[in-house]
Chain A
Amino acid sequence: MIAPAIPDRVGRRWVALAMAVLMLATSPSVAVEPSEMLKDPALEARARAIGQALRCVVCQNQSIDDSAAEVARDMRRAVRERLAAGDSNNQVFDYMVARYGDYVLLKPPFKAGTLLLWLGAPLVLLVASAAILVAVRQRRVAAPPPPLSERERERLRSLLGG
C-alpha cells in the first residue's frame, strides 16, 4: 500500500483500455449496480460471494465484484444468469475457468501446480515444530540440570531460612 500510480510499463497491453480501467478502478460507482442484482436475495447473496472469489481479468488484483471494468460487469451478469438457471456455485466457477483459466479464481485450485502454495506453510510449521521438539529434548537429555539462578538461590535461601 504505497503510493498508487499508473504504471508506465506498457509492453503490448492496451494503453487506452488500461488507462480507462485504472481511471475507473478507484471509482466505486460502477461495481455491482442495482440494475444487475437478482430479485431473490438468497441467490443474489450467492452471486456476491462468487463475485468476490472471481478475479477481474483486466484489473489489478480486484474481484469482479469490486471492479468497474466492462468485462467484470459481463462476468457478474453471467454469474447471475448461471445461478438463475440453477447452476451450483462450483458449476459457475467451472464455467468461468473454462473461459479464463485458473487465473480467474482468487483462491487457486488445489492441484499439482499449486501443491507448494497450499502445503508450503504447513510444511514449514511441521518441520520447524519437529526440529524444535527434537532440539529441546536432546539438550535436556545431554545437559545437566541448569544451575539455579541468582533469584532462585535467593528464594531458596529465604524459604530455607523461613
Chain B
Amino acid sequence: MIPELGHFALILALVVALVQGTLPLVGAAKGDDRLMALGSTAALTQALLVLIAFAALTQAYVTSDFSVVNVVANSHSAKPLVYKITGVWGNHEGSMLLWALILALFGAAVAIFGANLPDTLRARVLAIQALIGTGFLAFLLFTSNPFERLSPAPPDGNGLNPLLQDPGLAFHPPLLYLGYVGFSVTYAFAIAALLEGRVDPAWARWVRPWTLAAWCFLTLGIALGSWWAYYILGWGGFWFWDPVENASLMPWLAGTALLHSAIVVEKRDALKSWTVLLAILAFSLSLLGTFLVRSGVLTSVHAFAQDPARGLYILGFLIAVTGGGLALYAWRAPKLSPGGLFQPVSREGALILNNLLLCTLAVTVLLGTLYPLFLDLLTGNKVSVGPPFFNATFVPLCAPLFAALCVGPFLGWKRAELWPALTQLRLAFFVSVAAAVVAAAVVDSRSTLAAVAFGFGVWLIVGSIVEFASRIRLARVPWPESLRRLRATPRAAIGMTIAHGALGFVVLGSVATGAWHLEVIETLKPGEKTHIAGYDVTLQRVENVQGPNYVAERATLAVTTGGRPFTTLQPERRLFVVQRRQIAETAIQTNLLRDLYATLGEGDPNTGWVIRLYLNPLAPWIWLGAALCALGGFVSLSDRRLRIGAPTRFRARTAGPGMTGGTRGPRSA
C-alpha cells in the first residue's frame, strides 16, 4: 500500500512540475500576477509530493518490504538499520529519486527564500527548475520506477553492495547531489536572466548564495568520496583520475570559475555573458557526470549498474537542457550590454585569468575523460588516459593559477599596479621558496617537482594570511584599530581568505602524501616484526571475527616506538556473506600530521599474512583542507549582503526603469 502511495505521489509530482514549468512562464510573459504566484505554491507542493515518495521508499527499505523489486535487489534483512536507510540511494532508481527530491527541495527553497526577487524573475526561475524536475520525474516513472512490485515476494533480498556499507560512501552521494543539483538553480537563474534580457549586479547577488551553497556541497561531496577511496581501496591513494571522479571534478571547476566571474558582474557589471555561460555549463557538466556514470559509455570502478537505454534518455535530457540553454544563450547573450572597462592588470584581469585557467583545467579533464571514446569511434585505436597523463597536463596548469591566486586580492578594481601588490607578498614569497628548498634538501632530494609543489602550497597559505593581515592592517595600525577592522571585514572576505588558504592545505597534503609516503609490504607470521619510520610493528595475532552481515579476519598489530607501546592497529578483511565479496578494512592511526595506515592481505598461519604499512605525511590535510575550503564557502554564504538583499546605495543605482517592481528591501523574517 505504502509503495503505491509513493508511486502515486511521484505521478502527482510530475503533474505539478508540468504546471509549475509552464504557467508561471506564461504569467511572466503576460505580466499575469496570479499565474506567476502559482510558481511558489507549485514548488512547495512538488517538494512535499517528492518527499512523500522518498519517505515511502525509505519505509519499504526500513521494514524490508521484499515485495518491492528495488528493495529485493539492494537490501537484506540482516543489514544494519543505518545501511538500510542509506541503501535507498545506493542504487540507480533510489539515487535518481534522491536527485528529484533534492531538485524539488531546491525549488521550494527558491520559493521560500526568493521573496526579495522580482516576481517575473522568481516565476521564471521556478518554472525552469520545474522543467528540469519534469525530466527527472518522467525518467523515474517511465524507465526507473523504484516502486515496482514483485510477486511472490522472495523471503530475503540480495543485499547492498558491501562497498556502500560504509559511512563515507553512504553519505557521499547526498552531498554530491546537493552540489550537482544546486547548480540547477544557478542554471535556472541564467536562463531566466536570458529570457528577461538583463544581467546586472543585482542578478549576480541573487545567484551568489545558490552558487556558493552548491559549490560548498560539491566540495564536501568530492572530498568525502576521495577520503572513502583513501581508506577503502587500501593502497593509500586518494585520487585516481577515474572517469567518475573526473565527472564530479568538472562541474566543480566550472562552479569555482562561476563563483569568481560572478563577483565581477556584481562589483563591476562586466563579464556578464561569460558568467551566464558558466552558469549554464556548471549544471550541464553535472548532467554530463550523471550521464557518464549511468550510461555505460565509459568503464569505471565506481560506475552504477549501466544501461544504454537509460543512457539514451539521460543523453536526450542533457541535450535538451544544455542545448536549449546554449541555444538561448547564442540568441540572447549578444544583446547583453557590455560592462565596465578595465585594464589588463586589475582585479577584473586577475579574475579573468582565474577563469581562463580553471576552464582550461576543466577542458583538460573533459578531453582526458572522453578522448579514448572519441579515438575508438573514429579510428578503432584504443588508448588509456590515466593518472600519469593528468599529472603531466593538469598539475602544471595549477602552477600559474596558484601563483596568481594570492596576487589577485591585492589588485584594485579597474586598474592596478602589479609591483606594489607583489611587494606586499614578498614575505609569502620568501617563506614559500624557503619551504621548497627545505623540502628539497631535507625531505627528498630526488623529486624537485614535489618540492616546488610543496612551496606552492605554503605560498597559498602564507599569501592568504598576508592578504588578510593587510586587510585589517595588522601591525601597521594599533591593535584596537586592527580589531575594529577585523570586526568590520565582510564575511565574504573572511570566507575567501579561508577558502584560499585551505586550498594550500589540500596542496600540501596531496604533495606530501603522493611524493613522500613510506611503504612497507611484508609477509609476517604472528610474533614477527617489521619497521616503518621509527615505529616497530609486530603482528600479534590474526583471528576470525563475526560482523552483523560479514565474517572477517582481523589482524592485531602492536606498534611501539623507542620500545614503548604506541598504538594498536587492527586491519580486517571482511567477507560479505550474502554477496560473497571481500572488502578490506584498513586501520589508520592519525595525529593530523601523518597517517599510519595498515591493511591486511591474504595469508595463513603457515606462510604468514601479507601486511602493508604506509606512513602518509600530511594526508589528513587533504580532507581537512577541503572541509575548510567548504567552510570558507559557508562563511561567505553568511555574509550580510546575501542575507538581507541589496544595500541601499546599490539599489539606488541599479533599480532603474525596466526593472519590474519587486520588493528588494531587507526581508523581514
Contact = CB atoms under 8 A, between A and B. Distances in A.
B2 to A, nearest CB: 25
B288 to A, nearest CB: 13
A143 interface: yes
Contacts of B580: 23
B375 A8 contact: no
Contacts of B161: 3-6
A29 to B, nearest CB: 3
B490 interface: no
A132 interface: yes
B349 to A, nearest CB: 8
A31 B386 contact: no
B90 interface: yes
Nearest to B368: A117
A161 to B, nearest CB: 20
A30 B368 CA distance: 29
Contact of B229 (A1, A9, A37, A63): A1
Interface stretch (B5-13, B53-61, B293-301): B293-301
A69 to B, nearest CB: 13
Interface string A1-44: 11111111100000000000001111111111111010000000
B397 interface: yes
A1 B225 contact: yes
Nearest to A59: B301
A125 B91 contact: no
Interface in B332-386: 338, 340-344, 349, 352, 356-357, 359-361, 363-364, 367-368, 371, 375, 379, 381-386
Interface residues of A, number: 62
A140 B341 contact: yes
A23 B306 CA distance: 18
Interface in B202-249: 222, 225-226, 228-229, 232-235, 237, 240, 242-245, 248
Nearest to A61: B242
A113 B375 contact: yes
Q: Which of A6, A28, A117, A140 has most B Cβ within 10 Å?
A: A28
Contact of A4 (B301, B343, B414): B301
B488 interface: no
A91 interface: no
A129 B356 contact: yes
A106 interface: yes
Contact of B356 (A30, A125, A139, A149): A125
A120 B383 contact: no
A2 B176 contact: yes
Interface string A84-124: 00000000000000000111111110000110111011101
A60 to B, nearest CB: 4
B364 A121 contact: yes
Interface stretch (B463-471, B476-484, B581-589, B625-633): B581-589
Nearest to B244: A1
Interface string A62-95: 1100100000000000000000000000000000
Interface in A36-56: 37, 52-53, 55
A128 interface: yes
A146 interface: yes
Contacts of B602: 29-30
Contact of A35 (B385, B397, B523, B584): B523
Given A2-B302, A27-B582, A139-B341, A63 B386 contact: yes
Interface in B155-173: 161, 163-164, 169, 172-173
Given A106-B389, A133-B344, A1 B242 contact: yes
B304 interface: yes
B612 interface: yes
B416 interface: no
Contacts of A146: 340-341, 414
A37 B521 CA distance: 9
B352 A66 contact: no
B392 interface: yes
Nearest to B346: A136
Contacts of A60: 299-301, 303
Given A23-B581, A29-B573, A31-B235, A61 B363 contact: no
A9 B297 CA distance: 11
Contact of B299 (A3, A61, A120, A140): A61
Given A7-B296, A60-B299, A60-B300, A28 B169 contact: no
Given A2-B173, A108-B385, A124-B363, A61 B356 contact: no
B91 A103 contact: no
Interface in B577-609: 580-584, 586, 599-602
20 contacts: A1-B242, A3-B90, A8-B306, A9-B296, A9-B308, A23-B580, A25-B301, A26-B163, A28-B599, A28-B601, A29-B573, A30-B601, A55-B386, A60-B301, A61-B386, A107-B385, A108-B383, A116-B367, A121-B361, A150-B649
Interface of B: 89-91, 95, 161, 163-164, 169, 172-173, 176, 222, 225-226, 228-229, 232-235, 237, 240, 242-245, 248, 293, 296, 299-308, 338, 340-344, 349, 352, 356-357, 359-361, 363-364, 367-368, 371, 375, 379, 381-389, 392-393, 397, 414, 521-523, 573, 580-584, 586, 599-602, 610, 612, 649, 653
